[in-house]
Structure 1
Amino acid sequence: MIKKIRVRGYRIHRDLTIYPNRKLNLIVGANESGKSTLMESIVLALTGRINGRSAAEELNPHWFNTGVVADFIAKRKRGEPQRFPEIDIEVFLENVPELQELCGAHNSDTPTNACPGVRFRCIPNQDYLAELQAWAKAPSSLLPIEWYRVEWRTFADRELIMRPRVLATAVIDARTVRSTSGVDYHLRQILGSQLEHHERANISRQYRDYKAVLSDTAFKSVNERIGKLHSTLHEQPISLAMDQTTRTSWEESVAPHVDGVPFAMAGQGQQSAIKIALAMNKHAGRAKFVMIEEPENHLSHTSLTRLLHRMETLTSDDQQLFITTHSSSVLNRLGLEALQFLGPTAPVKLNELDPETVRYFKKLPGFDTLRIVLADRIVLVEGPSDEIVFERVFKDLHGKRPMECGIDVLSMRGLSLGRGLELCERLGKKVAALRDNDGIESEELRKPLAQWLKPGSREVFIGEVAHGRTLEPQMIHHCGEAQLRTILGITDKADVGTWMSREKTEAALRIASSSEQFTPPAYMLQAAQFIHG
């Protein structure tokens, strides 16, 4: 299994180190946080390929981190010595007997660490050092990759030409499952792993025999006719025959079918699910590392639930999974303890969460956990009416809605506030939590939450007991009955408190859309001031 990944100078990752979980890794982050780039990095180091092609063929200047290149150019222009930008990806593996051929100390660890691993580098080609130095006198933002070379070696400093069998890797990108050739490289690779060597040899031999028969039958009369055309220089007859070279192997001609329909014409959700199931099939025993990009794509909620159940059933102890996702269903179902959050600083792992908290969120497939994970700042409220009223309070105070300021207001809908605060604490999120006092003094309500609170970072705001147990009496106390009647548009005969308690959401909506002045409860105003900073 992979124990550590270090990526330096590759695309968005200037210097990233991540310690994967042994079995399952859910890679989550905001847009442009480098999730797909991390997956590419792992595949490059394990297979030497990208998008099914050799890395040397695909190398381009946009692989190099723009910040590293910009620093190099700036320093060279100032006449300061500076090494040419490089890409360096290292995968440190578990020290087990079957990986001993990869074992060595040729890695970046200090002090020296002898362990199995592979290293992928894009470095200047010393044969073109003079050309590189000449270019560096007036460098551009695009590196001259023609004078670079790709180096793929084990930690034992042995050059790799092909992926070692022990590093079998399956890649499924559910975002773009279709292929112009009908069956893409990765699916052929996965299907091929289901065949034993003697089965492959037998299919290949019979395929050649059938092509030879076709040449001797269907083309016979055609060849007799064109053989009399005397078109060659030395009068030897020309003829047609099926191509028997490796360019036309049987793998290129065979396509899987789903219920009689060619795979490429099946639904995208079906294609994605099939690829995932084949790659994870524990009986195949081939793919040790499975990389899945956004399995939720092209799937309805019901289909996604079925796929997640299948993934849980198929996963085996000798496979390591890396999954990127934007789905709370995936995150909740597979478990927060597997999350690797790519934030603005170092990656955050959530495997230190209380197991009860992990189980708690697993039971909440409909709860949008990812909103907590991805938000810059968060306001946790008890229900929809609190959420609606707080949005009005915030906009009145700051002139913008919370989301316009990068603040997400999330209704816990009766869920445990403590569980939500524990998750926020582990993620290092700034959070304001609002709750009713329910007739209990604030200090008593804060005690069970104290371990997750931090002044200036994570605070709880609670209405005073003297002003009412819930949001509605708090609003009546601060705004006054007369003003609320105007805002809500109710008659003098209606009891304001009774009406608001009965029509909680409707009351909140009328307050949010009213142009009348609204005086908010003090604790909501304090929360709006705190979270905005």
Structure 2
Amino acid sequence: MDEKYIKAIHIRGYKKFVDFHIEFKKGLNILIGENSIGKSTVLEAINIVLNQYYFGGLNEEDSQQLNKENIYNFFKKNSPSIQDLPSIEIEIELSLNDDIKNQSFYGSNYDLLVGKNEKYGIKFKFSYDEVYDQEFNSIDFSNEENHVIPLEYYHAVWTTFSGIPYKRIMNPLKSILIDSSINKNDVYGNYARNLYKSSTSEENQRKLSYDFSKSIRKTAHENEKLLDIGKNRSFAVDEKKSKLSNLIEIQENEISLRNMGKGEENILKTSLSLQKKTNLDLVMLEEPENHLSYNNTRKQINKIQEKEKNVCQIIATTHESMILNKLNLVNAIWIKENNGQSLEKLPKDDVKFFAKSDNFDILRYILGNKIILVEGASEFILLPAIINSSLNINLDEEKISIISMRGIFYTHFKSLANIVNKKTLILTDNDSKQDRIDSKKDLSEEDFMISMPECVDEFTFEAAIYYHNEKLCEEIIQEITKRKLSKTAYNQHKDLPIPLAAMLARKTEFALKLAEKIEGGSNFEIPQYIEEGVKWLVQ
């Protein structure tokens, strides 16, 4: 396969992006980030440059594409000039071979990308057209009535890095975007038509179109008497409306794509776009999990994994942790305000761990502010009440997220915490092992702390709770069981206090009751390791 893909894109002044840069790699790229941070905007920007979407003519929506901060700064100036007008600039660096047909994209005609060495690429600019200087200078922007960006004086220009004008027909990358996120006007064009144009050679398109037009004319000629309406008038076929490319649709087992359920449609579109026969270079997937159940999301992931090698590059956005875990964290690019941060340096062992832990909410961890990782459901249930009551700390106000690891796997988070710069507190059990207690300091770092009970008798979260709140715990166990208890063992732990053994056998039920008591004002003593850890996290 001739390896053609996008190496980087730089966006200035488009929607949320004042000045934004992101680099891609060949193969799979998964864009993650907060809602409305700009993941979809990156895909839109690619389409604007490669396929010349939007900006085909003056459109009232064009003003909404301009960055609001740049618009505000323009009108804030006492005497704004032409040079101050907001504009949109997008530059894409491409990876192309040195074939003669690609030389029209090679040069140093770019302004935003780093360096001035020659590269392959395309640039787009939506800005004020200087031919209107005389008219523009007559506008008094000090008058608030004129606080409207004069789009009538703007123009959109596409050029290659060699400096020649760019047209969509020159596009060196066969690409398609699949957006199943919401029902809306399809700004990316009809999927079937785009796939047809991208995957069918121009020679075959011309042949099919010509044969189709001939068959229409033949049918009209053979039935001219039926079409005659007298006085040299007749019904005729509108050739513009009956162009083959306008009538193309996709069917599976004679069922039209548009008549399928949204979930089936999503999976089929993805599968079709990634199959080898379509011969696409770039496939962009806008939230491939949309309209899919849990099982169908897994099916979608399997389709992507099976067929990703059929295309040179995939750029996908997602809000689904399972998508990210299964398709590998090293393929993730975290979209921030000014750049995209790759997670490709995550160690292989950690990548394998998260790929197998597809039920772990990895996006909540990466996108969170301050994180508390706990082992099980009891801690997840109880900690908000304990921290609020004992330390007067509101988790939402402090932007603290509690996430259950469902086991002792905290070592896999250490490298990830460093890469994404995430302050992380691990609240874990010592399992009555002194060596675990002794090793916690060696594993802790400036923004990564492991906290556990110092005493081996407090071998688990419930044990630590019990030994600091015996009376309250015994009261709750009596309410739950309503009978005399005698069992003193739990798993390998023998000779435990009877109430503690009962707590360990009924962890979730006990946690719910204790949380209710704490929120109701019962006296509660917080275990030291929890207090120290939370205070470290919020300091």
Q: 1:492 to 1:59 in 2, by over 3 A?
A: closer
Aligned-residue offset at 1:496: 1.2
* Amino acid paired to 1:526: E
Contact 1:258/1:266 (8 A) holds in 2: no
Aligned-residue offset at 1:120: 0.8
Q: 1:358 to 1:282 in 2, by over 3 A?
A: same
Contact 1:204/1:249 (8 A) holds in 2: yes
* Amino acid paired to 1:485: E
Cα distance in 1, alignment partners of residues 252 and 185 from structure 2? 16
- Tell me, what secondary structure is at the counterpart of 1:193? helix
Cα distance in 2, alignment partners of residues 205 and 334 from structure 1? 43
Q: Deviations over 1:215-256 (max 9, x none)?
A: 234451451xx324xxxxxxxx22212223x44201222322
Aligned pair 1:10/2:4, yes or no?
Answer: no
Instruction: Summarize the alignment of residues 36-435 of structure 1 with structure 2, pairs less than 5 Å apart.
Output: 36-50=40-54, 54=56, 60-74=62-76, 76-77=77-78, 83-94=84-95, 96-98=97-99, 99-108=102-111, 109=113, 111-133=115-137, 134-138=139-143, 142-176=148-182, 185-223=190-228, 226-228=229-231, 237-244=232-239, 246-285=240-279, 287-316=280-309, 319-344=312-337, 346-397=339-390, 402-403=395-396, 405-435=398-428
What is the total number of aligned residue pairs between the two structures? 512
Q: Which sits farther off after the overlay, 349-358 or 141-150?
A: 141-150
Contact 1:488/1:511 (8 A) holds in 2: no
Contact 1:446/1:460 (8 A) holds in 2: yes
Contact 1:282/1:315 (8 A) holds in 2: no
- Tell me, what secondary structure is at the counterpart of 1:362? helix
Q: Deviations over 1:419-459 (max 9, x none)?
A: 12321221111221111122334652325624xx21xx322
Q: RMSD over aligned Cα, in angstroms?
A: 2.7
Contact 2:15/2:68 (8 A) holds in 1: yes
Q: Deviations over 1:42-96 (max 9, x none)?
A: 121222114xx8476586111111112212222x226799522111111112252
- Tell me, what secondary structure is at the counterpart of 2:36? coil
What TM-score does the superposition give when structure 1 sets the normalisation length? 0.89
Q: Which sits farther off after the overlay, 32-41 or 438-447?
A: 438-447
Contact 2:12/2:90 (8 A) holds in 1: yes
Aligned pair 1:525/2:531, yes or no?
Answer: yes
Aligned-residue offset at 1:188: 1.0
Q: Which sits farther off after the overlay, 492-501 or 334-343?
A: 492-501
Q: Deviations over 1:249-299 (max 9, x none)?
A: 0122232223222221111112112222222222332x2221110000011
Cα distance in 1, alignment partners of residues 335 and 186 from structure 2? 33
Contact 1:488/1:510 (8 A) holds in 2: no
What is the match of residue 439 of structure 2? Answer: 445
Contact 2:266/2:288 (8 A) holds in 1: yes
* Amino acid paired to 2:263: G
Q: 1:55 to 1:299 in 2, by over 3 A?
A: farther
What TM-score does the superposition give when structure 2 sets the normalisation length? 0.88
Contact 1:43/1:169 (8 A) holds in 2: no
Poorly superposed stretches of 4+, deviation over 6 Å: 78-81, 177-181
* Amino acid paired to 1:92: E
Q: 1:30 to 1:397 in 2, by over 3 A?
A: farther
Contact 1:339/1:351 (8 A) holds in 2: yes
Q: 1:156 to 1:369 in 2, by over 3 A?
A: same
What is the match of residue 458 of structure 2? Answer: 468
Cα distance in 1, alignment partners of residues 186 and 124 from structure 2? 29
Q: Deviations over 1:379-427 (max 9, x none)?
A: 1011111221212112214657524542210010115101123212211
Contact 2:378/2:508 (8 A) holds in 1: yes
Q: 1:415 to 1:289 in 2, by over 3 A?
A: farther
Cα distance in 2, alignment partners of residues 329 and 279 from structure 1? 22
Cα distance in 1, alignment partners of residues 417 and 56 from structure 2? 42
- Tell me, what secondary structure is at the counterpart of 2:126? strand
What is the match of residue 501 of structure 1? Answer: 504
Q: 1:197 to 1:131 in 2, by over 3 A?
A: closer
Aligned-residue offset at 1:138: 3.5
- Tell me, what secondary structure is at the counterpart of 1:316? helix
* Amino acid paired to 2:205: R
Which structure 2 residue ranges, 5 or more long, are not aligned?
Answer: 486-497
Q: 1:97 to 1:42 in 2, by over 3 A?
A: same
Q: Deviations over 1:364-385 (max 9, x none)?
A: 1222111111212211011111
Contact 1:56/1:150 (8 A) holds in 2: no
- Tell me, what secondary structure is at the counterpart of 1:3? strand
Contact 2:430/2:437 (8 A) holds in 1: no
- Tell me, what secondary structure is at the counterpart of 1:166? coil
Cα distance in 1, alignment partners of residues 110 and 256 from structure 2? 46
Aligned-residue offset at 1:521: 1.0
Aligned-residue offset at 1:317: 6.8
Contact 2:178/2:269 (8 A) holds in 1: yes
What is the match of residue 486 of structure 1? Answer: 475
Q: Which sits farther off after the overlay, 422-431 or 393-402?
A: 393-402
Of 500, 504, 511 in structure 1, the residue corresponding to residue 514 of structure 2 is 511
Contact 1:174/1:297 (8 A) holds in 2: yes
Which structure 1 residue ranges, 5 or more long, are not aligned?
Answer: 229-236
Q: 1:155 to 1:56 in 2, by over 3 A?
A: farther
Q: 1:394 to 1:218 in 2, by over 3 A?
A: farther
Q: Which sits farther off after the overlay, 112-121 or 391-400?
A: 391-400
* Amino acid paired to 2:106: C
Contact 2:123/2:158 (8 A) holds in 1: yes
Q: 1:81 to 1:188 in 2, by over 3 A?
A: closer
Contact 2:79/2:142 (8 A) holds in 1: no
What is the match of residue 459 of structure 1? Answer: 449
Cα distance in 2, alignment partners of residues 251 and 279 from structure 1? 18
Q: Deviations over 1:342-361 (max 9, x none)?
A: 13564221001101111111
